[in-house]
A and B are shown apart, each in its own frame.
Chain A
């Protein structure tokens, strides 16, 4: 054993020398690899979709939600039937189109649409039950609730929120690229321009 650790063993010294050279080169290569290699980032158009997919696993983006109430009367001045329930408006994420052309990011969004209505509660104020009117109102309760929410601007509110959300997200994801956010319906016009 004493033969192996002696410093005058040329054979051993030679191998230690070679080993050290290899180690120095290896560490240099690792250092260069870590600090000089380009970052492996996803392509820019993918990253917004990825962020959305991660945040909304259900593929549905609810943009406006409210608990709306509406009253329906058989004729003017008569006692109403009051309906209240939840109205949800939004988009399907798969309908969101993100493209990159000549360094510009284009985001085309669909018009927000009804995702669901649930009648939660109703109250009939009439003193005598008008069965036909009562049943007709309850049958179409979801339609009336959505109609009321529409009158109060739920779709507009949803579109404003969507634009704001897309603008905020794109500013963070593509800070140095111009981004055009437009409704899907204006896509043809933008492409012609």
Chain B
């Protein structure tokens, strides 16, 4: 076999080997992508068991005061002497804000995982207890939950928002993305959902 023919066959074999290697390389990287995707899916499923990480809870006391007039002397349905009356209650409540897990979506790009997360939202204001702080000329206590709760709910939520309840929820999400990064060894980016952009 002449020298150049031998080299030609050698080159041909090497070229075939090279193509085969590239094919293996391509298949392996595809498989790696699928494995990574499954890994992310598994890690997120695991993290979703701990919703406390993305939820913030604040105790909020609100003062609820009412005033009015009361008949002191009532003669045949005609009030002869009316007095001012005034009472304040301390209403304890619990404000919970955070994310709804079902609304957290994710997608994987080549070198990072993107978590599409809507803004945190108010999940509830729970009434705990009411306590009379001060009463003036208030005969009987006729405070009903349905009367004060709409006001208290609004006020407690406003206070919690001013105290940074949403920022605390976002911090919980930061921990979550940090954990995800640890688990999958890829950077995780938090973004608003596509429709909010």
Contact = CB atoms under 8 A, between A and B. Distances in A.
A7 B133 CA distance: 102
Interface residues of B, number: 44
B182 to A, nearest CB: 6
A99 interface: no
B33 interface: no
A41 B25 CA distance: 24
A28 B14 CA distance: 13
A35 B31 CA distance: 11
B17 interface: yes
Interface in B1-48: 3-4, 7-8, 10-11, 14-15, 17-18, 21-22, 24-25, 28, 32, 43, 46-47
Interface stretch (A49-57, A104-112, A131-139, A176-184): A49-57
Nearest to A153: B59
A13 B15 CA distance: 13
B152 interface: no
Nearest to B9: A17
B149 interface: no
Interface residues of A, number: 49
A47 B180 CA distance: 12
Contact of B185 (A20, A39, A84, A168): A39
Interface of A is mostly: helix
Contact of A27 (B22, B178, B179): B22
B119 interface: no
Nearest to A172: B179
Interface residues of chain B: helix, strand, loop or mixed (majority): helix
A17 B59 contact: no
Interface string A20-34: 110110011001001
Contacts of A55: 171, 174-175, 178
A66 B58 CA distance: 5
A150 interface: no
A71 B18 contact: no
A97 interface: no
B11 A69 contact: no
Interface in B39-83: 43, 46-47, 50, 52-53, 58-63
B153 interface: no
B21 A31 contact: yes
A62 B18 contact: no
Nearest to B60: A67
Contacts of B8: 7, 13
> A-B pairs with the 5 shortest C-beta distances?
A66-B59, A13-B7, A69-B61, A20-B14, A55-B175
Interface of B: 3-4, 7-8, 10-11, 14-15, 17-18, 21-22, 24-25, 28, 32, 43, 46-47, 50, 52-53, 58-63, 88, 90, 133-134, 159-160, 163, 168, 171, 174-175, 178-179, 182-183, 185
